[in-house]
């Protein structure tokens, strides 16, 4: 029988490959970012050597109006998209969990958006949002009874909402699948007991379904929030941060600073701030929801 120390060594040895990958993919790039954030590192090599500039990038970041606009846009997008997307996901999951005809077919159809590359999704929605005669405007004109149209992507007030709807549609099947798995784990006896207790459909949802999905909700809230905070592709392909910076998110701004303006040092400072912010939000969500559940 192997001794304890041999067993420990074996465990450590088996963990090494995975840990090495994690270090190479996550820890090293993050450490480099932290390092670059204290320098004036540029994207392309230049004759003047890179210098250590202390916390200048951070000072500049906190004084940068566009940075704060990007933070505001990202928060707004997250606050809008997370509840919207989770509500759609849970509603569809509940519908697909019910005994409806052709349930298998509907389940397959419902996950189709997840199979499409995000650029294709953006192309589809660009057609839907088209002015003046896109399908959504046609519906609007039908109900409004006029020739007016809404410039969904071009309007400062509507561009963010357009992104929220597009993004929710593009990725809701992921949350929906997890909700569906969670719903299938809720024992049927609980619903029957509630029915005998006189619970209405809403009360069965309120007192059986919702509490039973607590762990699923915590997981999805954290994952969806992080996903929302990382919004980039839709902005990059559809709005390019406009109009007037109304859809410039923190990641898009970071990309612009690092790869368009070539200020890698400054972009690194933004990325470090972003990492700390996301980690803090995720930890706070977990702690808050855990305490709430135990209260």
Partner 1 sequence: MADVRIASVTKRYGAVEVVPSLDLHIPEGSFTVLVGPSGCGKSTLLRMIAGLETVSGGTIAIGGRDITHAAPSKRGVAMVFQSYALYPHMTVAENIGFGLRLAGMPKSEMEARVREAADILQLGPLLDRKPKQLSGGQRQRVAIGRAIVRKPKVFLFDEPLSNLDAALRAQMRVELSELHQRLGSTMVYVTHDQVEAMTMADQIVVLNKGCIEQVGAPMDLYRAPQTPFVAGFIGSPKMNFIEGPIAREFGGELLGIRPEHVTLSDREGRWSCTVRHAEHLGGETLVHLDSPEVGRLTVKVSGDIAAAPGVQLYATPGLDTSHVFKGGLRAPS
- The binding site for partner 1 (CB under 8 A) comprises 187, 189-190, 192-199, 203, 207-208, 211-212, 214, 293
Q: How far is the CB of 220 from partner 1 (least distance, A)?
A: 18
* H helices present in 41-117, as ranges: 56-63, 65-97, 103-110, 112-115
| CB within 8 Å of 227: residues ≥ 6 apart | 171
Q: Choose between 117 and 293: whose C-beta lies nearer to partner 1.
A: 293
Q: How far is the CB of 107 from partner 1 (least distance, A)?
A: 23
Q: Choose between 142 and 295: whose C-beta lies nearer to partner 1.
A: 295
Which residue(s) pair with 231 in the sheet? none
Q: How far is the CB of 114 from partner 1 (least distance, A)?
A: 31
Instruction: Go through the chain and tell me how many residues it has.
Output: 295
Q: How far is the CB of 97 from partner 1 (least distance, A)?
A: 18
What is the C-alpha to C-alpha distance for residues 87 and 172, in angstroms, rounded to an integer?
9
Q: Choose between 60 and 214: whose C-beta lies nearer to partner 1.
A: 214
What is the C-alpha to C-alpha distance for residues 103 and 201, in angstroms, rounded to an integer?
21
| CB within 8 Å of 84: residues ≥ 6 apart | 164, 165, 168
Q: Choose between 18 and 100: whose C-beta lies nearer to partner 1.
A: 100
Q: How far is the CB of 214 from partner 1 (least distance, A)?
A: 7
**Contact criterion met (CB below 8 Å) for 259 and 232:** no
Q: Choose between 217 and 239: whose C-beta lies nearer to partner 1.
A: 217
């Amino acid at each position: 029988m192997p001794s304890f120390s041999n067993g420990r060594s074996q465990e450590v040895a088996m963990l090494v490959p995975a840990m090495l990958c994690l270090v190479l993919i996550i820890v090293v790039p993050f450490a480099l970012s932290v390092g670059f954030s204290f320098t004036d590192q540029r994207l392309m090599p230049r004759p003047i050597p890179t210098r250590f500039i202390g916390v200048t990038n951070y000072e500049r970041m906190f004084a940068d109006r566009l940075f704060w606009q990007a933070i505001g846009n990202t928060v707004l997008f997250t606050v809008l998209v997370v509840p919207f997307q989770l509500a759609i996901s849970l509603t569809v999951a509940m519908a697909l969990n019910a005994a409806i005809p052709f349930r298998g077919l509907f389940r397959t159809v419902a996950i189709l958006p997840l199979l499409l590359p995000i650029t294709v999704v953006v192309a589809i929605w660009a057609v839907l949002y088209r002015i003046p005669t896109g399908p959504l405007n046609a519906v609007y004109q039908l109900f409004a009874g006029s020739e007016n149209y809404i410039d969904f992507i071009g309007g400062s007030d509507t561009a963010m909402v357009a992104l929220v709807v597009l993004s929710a549609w593009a990725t809701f099947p992921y949350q929906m699948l997890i909700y569906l798995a969670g719903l299938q784990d809720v024992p049927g006896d609980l619903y029957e007991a509630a029915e005998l207790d006189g619970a209405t459909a809403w009360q069965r949802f309120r007192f059986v379904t919702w509490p039973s999905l607590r762990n699923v909700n915590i997981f999805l809230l954290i994952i969806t929030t992080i996903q929302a905070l990382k919004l980039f592709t839709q902005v990059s392909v559809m709005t390019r941060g406009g109009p007037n910076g109304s859809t410039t998110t923190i990641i898009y701004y970071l990309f612009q600073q690092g790869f368009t303006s070539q200020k890698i040092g400054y972009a690194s400072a933004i990325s470090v701030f972003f990492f700390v912010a996301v980690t803090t939000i995720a930890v706070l969500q977990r702690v808050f929801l855990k305490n709430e559940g135990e209260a």
